Structure 1
Amino acid sequence: MDFALTEAQTELAALTRRILTGRVTPETLGRHGTGGFDQALWRRLANAGIVDAALPSPVGGGFGLLEQCAVLTEIGRAVAPVPYLPTVTMAASALAEFGGELLERWAVPVVRGEKVLTVALPDAGAPCGFTASPALGGWRVSGSQTAVPFGAFADGFLVPAETADGVAVFLIDEAEVRAQSTIDHADAALVSVSEAPGTLLGEPGAGVDEWLRLRGTVGLCARQLGVLESALRRTAEYTKERNQFGHPIAGFQAVRQRLADAYVDVEAVRLTLWQAAWRLAEGLPAAGEVATAKYWAAEAGHRVAHTAVHLHGGVGIDLDHPLHRYFTAAKRTEFTLGGATAQLRLLGDHLAAGPT
Structure 2
Amino acid sequence: MDFEFTEAQRDLAGLARELLTDWAARHPRPDDTGFDPQLWRAMARAGLLDAALPERAGGGGFGLLEHCSILTEIGRTVAPAPYAATIAVAAATLAEFGSDAQLQRWMPSLLSGDKILAPVLAREFTCFEARSSADGWVLEGSQSVVAAGTFADAYLVEARVDTNSILLLVDRGDATVVPQHAVDGTDAARVEIRGATIPGEQAVTTPGAAAWARRRFALATCALQLGILERALELTCEYARTRKQFDKPIAAFQAVRQRLADAYIDVEAVRLTLWQAAWRESHGLPADSDIAVAKFWAAQSGHRVAHTAVHVHASAGIYLDYPMQRYFTAAKRAEFEQGTAADHLRGLGLALDSPAA
Fold in common (TM above 0.5): yes
Q: Distance in 2 between matches of 1:40 and 1:249?
A: 40
Report SS of the residue matched to 1:271.
Answer: helix
CA contact (8 A) 1:177 1:190 kept: yes
**Residue equivalent to 2:197:** 197
**Residue equivalent to 1:277:** 278
Q: Distance in 2 between matches of 1:159 and 1:291?
A: 22
**Residue equivalent to 1:328:** 329
For residue 45 of structure 1, the aligned residue among 23, 26, 43 is 43
1:209-252, Cα deviation, whole Å (9 max, x unpaired):
21111010001000000000000000000000000001101111
**Residue equivalent to 1:241:** 242
CA contact (8 A) 2:132 2:138 kept: yes
**Residue equivalent to 2:316:** 315
CA contact (8 A) 2:34 2:82 kept: no
**Residue equivalent to 1:104:** 104
1:167, distance to aligned residue in structure 2 (A): 1.7
CA contact (8 A) 2:122 2:159 kept: no
1:313, distance to aligned residue in structure 2 (A): 1.2
**Residue equivalent to 1:291:** 292
Report SS of the residue matched to 1:182.
Answer: coil
1:319, distance to aligned residue in structure 2 (A): 2.2
**Residue equivalent to 1:347:** 348
1:165, distance to aligned residue in structure 2 (A): 4.7
Report SS of the residue matched to 1:21.
Answer: helix
Sequence identity (%):
52
Whether 2:54 is the aligned partner of 1:56: answer yes
CA contact (8 A) 1:128 1:161 kept: no
**Residue equivalent to 2:82:** 83
CA contact (8 A) 1:225 1:297 kept: yes
1:138-162, Cα deviation, whole Å (9 max, x unpaired):
1111111100001011111111111
CA contact (8 A) 2:142 2:192 kept: yes
1:166, distance to aligned residue in structure 2 (A): 1.4
CA gap of 1:178–1:27, structure 2 versus 1, over 3 A, is farther
Q: Distance in 2 between matches of 1:28 and 1:140?
A: 43
Q: Distance in 1 between matches of 2:342 and 2:9?
A: 32
1:171, distance to aligned residue in structure 2 (A): 1.1
CA gap of 1:128–1:169, structure 2 versus 1, over 3 A, is farther
CA gap of 1:354–1:114, structure 2 versus 1, over 3 A, is farther
CA contact (8 A) 1:26 1:322 kept: no
1:299-348, Cα deviation, whole Å (9 max, x unpaired):
00000000000000111121221000000000011011111000111101
Structure 2 counterparts to residues 137-176 of structure 1, below 5 A: 137-173=135-171, 174-176=174-176
CA contact (8 A) 1:121 1:337 kept: no
Q: Which runs of 5+ in 1 are unaligned?
A: none
CA contact (8 A) 1:122 1:337 kept: no
CA contact (8 A) 1:28 1:38 kept: no
Aligned residues: 349
Q: How well do the aligned residues superpose, as a CA RMSD in angstroms?
A: 1.3
CA contact (8 A) 2:16 2:73 kept: yes
CA gap of 1:354–1:8, structure 2 versus 1, over 3 A, is farther
1:107-134, Cα deviation, whole Å (9 max, x unpaired):
11101111101111244xx134210011
Report SS of the residue matched to 1:91.
Answer: helix
Instruction: Single out whichever of 283-292 and 164-173 deviates more from structure 2.
Output: 164-173
Instruction: Single out whichever of 207-216 and 18-27 deviates more from structure 2.
Output: 18-27
Q: Distance in 2 between matches of 1:159 and 1:172?
A: 7
Q: Which amino acid aligns with 2:92?
A: S
Instruction: Single out whichever of 126-135 and 110-119 deviates more from structure 2.
Output: 126-135
Q: Distance in 1 between matches of 2:183 and 2:54?
A: 33
Q: Distance in 2 between matches of 1:21 and 1:53?
A: 20
Q: Distance in 2 between matches of 1:192 and 1:202?
A: 21
CA contact (8 A) 2:169 2:203 kept: yes
Report SS of the residue matched to 2:56.
Answer: coil
1:26, distance to aligned residue in structure 2 (A): 6.0
Report SS of the residue matched to 2:3.
Answer: coil
Instruction: Single out whichever of 331-340 and 194-203 deviates more from structure 2.
Output: 194-203
Q: Which amino acid aligns with 1:152?
A: T
Q: Which amino acid aligns with 2:322?
A: H
